[in-house]
Amino acid sequence: MGRKLLLENAHIEGIRYYDTYRKQGGYAAAEKALKSMGPEAVLEEVKKSGLRGRGGAGFPTGMKWSFIAKPEGVPRYLVCNADESEPGTFKDRYLMEFIPHLLIEGLLISSFTLGANACYIYIRGEYAWIPDILEQAIAEAKNNGWLGKNIQGTGFDLEIYVQRGAGAYICGEETALIESLEGKRGNPRIKPPFPAVKGLWQCPTVVNNVETLAAVVPIINYGADEYIKLGTGKSTGTKLISACGNINKPGVYEIEMNISVEEFIFSEEYCGGIKNGKRLKACIPGGSSVPVLPANLLLKTAKGDTRMMTYEGLAEGGFATGSMLGSGGFIVMDEDQCIVRNTLTFARFYHHESCGQCSPCREGTGWMEKVLKNIEYGKGKMSDIDLLWDIQRKIEGNTICPLGDAAAWPVAAAIRHFRDEFEWHVKNPEEAQRRNFGLAHYADPLPVPAAV
Amino acid sequence: MAEEKKLFKVKIDNITVEVEPGTTILNAARGIGGDVVPPAMCYYSKLQGSGGKCRTCLVKVTKGSEADPRPMPKLVASCRTTVMDGMEVANITSPEVLDARKGIVEFLLINHPLDCPVCDQAGECDLQDLSYEHGAETTRYEFKRRTFDKVDLGEHIQLHMTRCILCYRCVFTADQLTEKREHGILDRGDHSQISTYIQQNLDNDFIGNVIDVCPVGALTDKTARFKNRVWFLKPVDAHRNCDNPKCCGKTVLWMRGNEIFRVTARKDQFGEVENWICDTCRFDKKDVKDWVVEGPRNIDRHSVISQGHYVNTVQPKDPLVEVLDGRQPQLLFDIHTTSQVNRPDIDLSKIDGPAHSDDFNKPKS
Ligand SMILES: Cc1cc2nc3c(=O)[nH]c(=O)nc-3n(C[C@H](O)[C@H](O)[C@H](O)COP(=O)(O)O)c2cc1C
Ligand code: SF4
Ligand code: SF4
Ligand code: FES
């Protein structure tokens, strides 16, 4: 059994409420941080823990915190990104629903470290029932002296506010989130300036994912030295993975980052293998934005090594033969799934969610969707496949925010690894309406690389 | 004066220029001038916060600065990236930039109606110029283009959203020049649209400037719409003593004979308005007696506008009246939506591309 740090106590009866959470050792980390450590020591500890952002990009959290500008007399803000709208990702929801005080405690420690006296949780609008849970937890924490003025007699003040989004994926991008929080249209800002210098209301701001901020609690509780013992290399600690698709046991799992992808999919402890005895065809390991991998490249890297469930492991081979850990939305596809259809679904999503500010993303996402629709519905041409490739290439890297890249990557990866399936759709338009391409050779062992 | 500021040395396409810290790459390039200036469809120096959106001005930073010579990993929007000392930038010397720019032009055009023959902006349209210089001859887009209904934004301005490239300039103009903000963007993605919240009248002293900042024919002057082509008009500089304190009163009159067809602000070599003008000067002063004419405006000699040669300002006799047997010439202009010759029940604006005889065939019953 892998060790759990975040969801260790998540299933204890009543853990949602303060009394139980406190009895299980809750707010001990906050006490330690506020009373005996002080902001610098906490920052050092977080840096040493190697904690990386759990929102998708994996940026080292300690380093991000140390970038925050500290001009005299200007307030600083911590913003918790709970917008979680990436298809396939539902880990933050689990954490907030089951053990909200862990997040509140994490926000308290993080705000204290950053010197922020106001903290905002920006939560996805569709999570309509969670703000109540959070607000209750906030009220409980306040009643017990963990929020408000002069927290536990330390002189530190903090208020936490919950703000609901209105159903836009783009408001998960940190600067769009800030705009939305300010009551404006959720358009990503053009950077620089970065939020660390000019964020919410033009004040220095740190935006972190729910899981990132919750992970600060065990880091302080057990110490960074203990934390880095879990995981491998630069992927320290544990990670929440929301697994879905054609697996026996979909759900949210906390994994120590030292297991292989194969173990994660097939072991009884985690996904429990592919449903109905089918075979594995492909997997999108980190939420809809990251490149899809065929079974053979998923379980082993192109070099023939076992692929690990870590930041580096999933990225091994770059985009040519690898993918990304992303936000931990793990989507598994069995032999009955159609890659073209799946790519179309994602393209439609990004087309729908583009904010429309910059031309490549605004126009390109819709174009890709239309071309993919033609291919999927038997009206495609061979040249459409190259056209798709060219469109995604001209979007990627040329946009204001990473949504453009996120729209381009799934299309690029699908064509890179599953081109014959696209060609089959074009060549057999009628048959493609009746049946799927199937597993084909996507699970075949990789050719052994010539001796180097 | 404070002591002299240290200048930054920047090299753009191998040409070195010294600029003040805080200058953007685009403005540094404008300082050099000529071909190395990246095209800018959304940035507008007089509008705060503009730029960064259209991505036509993308350039490659091959050397970050003297202190940190690493190149930047991605192409950057030159209008929103400030220079560093020792920075080296490639614009037209970088095939990667040219390729990306070609892509951007293609993106801007896939949903554009290409109705230049009936568009008032033709001849002074930034998108036409951009496509001519950086675009491809054909399109790879095979789908129905996005369309919107035309709407009137008040008495004087028409919005033809189908032509809009969402550069946000008009939004910034409305925001920064007029008092009550009623003009913004609704919806998102490729169905975003400029809107004035339930088509409120835009009646504000300076709202007419949105017409001048619009790089395409999405916002046009209703007092001049369909009256003439810009290249048949003669632009002259003129001014009047405007009693609006925020208005400079310095304009360009677009004339034919003694008739003023249109009044606009004066634009500089980068197509930007030099000074804002008020709506009274723009929409209501169409009599030569209202103005002190300074003389012909200098127009770039490559522009189609300077192709007209005017010997004098005497209005030629209008042949249309005779040609049309006394019918109103208005009918011809209405070709925009219906045809008087072919079946008028067919709405031409609903047809993709130019109309063919097929479009008018009666369905065989
Ligand atoms: C289009 C888009 C959507 C995003 N959505 C989310 C989201 O729902 N939740 C999240 O935590 N981060 C999201 N991000 C990443 C954030 O911009 C930001 O990197 C993250 O909140 C930083 O937190 P971290 O360092 O803790 O990962 C999104 C980014 C983009 C470009
Ligand atoms: S990349 Fe897409 S979502 Fe991001 S700013 Fe541009 S148009 Fe908006
Ligand atoms: S209407 Fe014109 S100025 Fe306004 S956003 Fe569209 S193209 Fe730009
Ligand atoms: S002019 Fe720079 S992005 Fe539009």
Residues B99-151 pLDDT 10s: 999 999 999 999 999 999 999 999 999 999 999 999 888 899 999 999 999 98
Q: Which of A438-447, B208-217, B224-233 has the highest mean pLDDT?
A: B208-217
B277 occurs within a structural domain: no
Q: Is A357 in the pocket of ligand 2 (CB under 6 A)?
A: yes
* pLDDT tens digit sequence for B262-303: 999 999 989 999 999 999 999 999 999 999 999 888 887 777
Task: Decide whether any atom of ligand 3 lies within 6 Å of the B218 Cβ.
Answer: yes
Residue B9 φ/ψ region, left for φ over 0, alpha for ψ in the -120 to 50 degree band, beta for the rest: beta
Residues B156 and B188 placed together within one structural domain of the fold: yes
- Name the nearest CA neighbour of A358 among A117, A191, A112: A191
E strands, chain B, are 8-12, 15-19, 58-63, 76-77, 87-90, 151-153, 157-159, 184-186, 193-195, 219-221, 234-239, 250-256, 259-265, 292-296
Residues B57 and B122 in one domain: no
Q: Which domain holds residue B156?
A: 118-126+142-222
Residues B93 and B122 in one domain: no
What are A280's two structure tokens? Answer: 């594995």
* Confidence at residue B202, expressed as pLDDT on a 0 to 100 scale: 57
Tens of pLDDT, residue by residue over A142-199, are: 999 999 999 999 999 999 999 999 999 999 999 999 999 999 999 999 999 999 999 9
Q: Whose CA is nearest to atom 3 of ligand 3?
A: B214
Cα Rg, chain A, nearest whole Å: 23
Residues of chain A with CATH 3.40.50.11540: 18-229
Cβ of residue A180 closer than 8 Å to a chain B Cβ = no
Whether B331 maps to a domain, the answer reads yes
CATH of A18-229, one of 3.30.70.890, 3.40.50.720, 3.40.50.11540, 2.30.110.10: 3.40.50.11540
Measured in Å, residue B109 CA sits from the centre of ligand 2 at: 18
Give strand ranges (E) for A315-379: 329-334
Element (H, E) at B131: helix B126-134
B122 and B215 belong to one structural domain: yes
In terms of CA atoms, which chain B residue is nearest residue A352?
B189
What stretch(es) of chain A map to CATH 3.10.20.600? 238-334
The verdict on the CB of residue A299 being under 6 Å from ligand 2 is: no
* Same domain membership, residue B217 and residue B122: yes
Quick check: is B241 in a domain?
A: no
Is there a domain that residue B265 lies in? no
- Section A54-70 average pLDDT: 95
- Over residues B69-83, the pLDDT tens digits come to 999 999 999 999 999
Residue spans of alpha helices (H) in B163-290: 169-177, 209-213, 279
Distance from CA of A197 to the nearest CA of B (A): 16
| Ligand 1 pocket check for A80: Cβ under 6 Å | no
The amino acid occupying position A108 is L
Let me know the angle formed at the C-alpha of B213 by B221 and B123, rounded to the nearest 5 degrees: 65
Under CATH, which number does the domain A339-434 receive?
A: 1.20.1440.230
Question: How wide is the angle at C-alpha A338 spanned by C-alphas A336 and A340, nearest 5°?
Answer: 175
Average pLDDT score over residue span A331-346: 96
SS (H, E, C) A76-100: CEEEEEECCCCCCCCHHHHHHHHCH
For residue A293, what is the enclosing H or E element?
strand A293-294
Q: Is residue B311 part of a domain?
A: no
Ligand nearest to the CA of A362: 2
**Best CATH choice for the domain A238-334 from the list 3.10.20.600, 1.10.10.10, 3.50.50.60, 3.20.20.140:** 3.10.20.600
- At which residue do the structure tokens 């993919």 appear? A372
Contact B218, B125 (CB under 8 A): no
What pLDDT sits at residue B184? 85
Residue A148: Cβ within 10 Å count: 14
Sheet with B157-159, side-by-side order of all strands? B151-153, B157-159, B219-221
Pick from A451, A438, A229, A242: which is nearest to A340 by CA? A438
- In testing the pocket of ligand 3, which one of B157, B170, B178 has its CB within 8 Å of the most ligand atoms? B170
Torsions phi, psi for A68 (to 5 deg): -65, 130
Cα distance between residue A29 and residue A35, in whole Å: 10
CA closest to B191 among chain A residues: A356
B122, B216: one domain: yes
Give the whole-angstrom CA distance, residue B42 versus residue A358: 10
| Exposure string for A184-204, b = 16+ CB within 10 A, e = fewer | ebbbbbbeeebbbbbbbeebb
- How far apart CA B12 and CA A444 sit, in angstroms, is 51
Q: Is residue A125 a contact partner of residue A165, using CB atoms and an 8 Å limit?
A: yes
Domain CATH code at residue B175: 3.30.70.20
Give me the CATH number covering residue B61: 3.10.20.740
- Neighbouring CB atoms inside 10 A of A316's CB total 18
> Is residue B335 a part of any domain in this protein?
yes
Residues B237, B295 contacting (CB under 8 angstroms): yes
Domain count, chain B: 3
Does the structure show a pLDDT above 80 at B327? no
What's the pTM value of the predicted model, to 2 decimals? 0.88
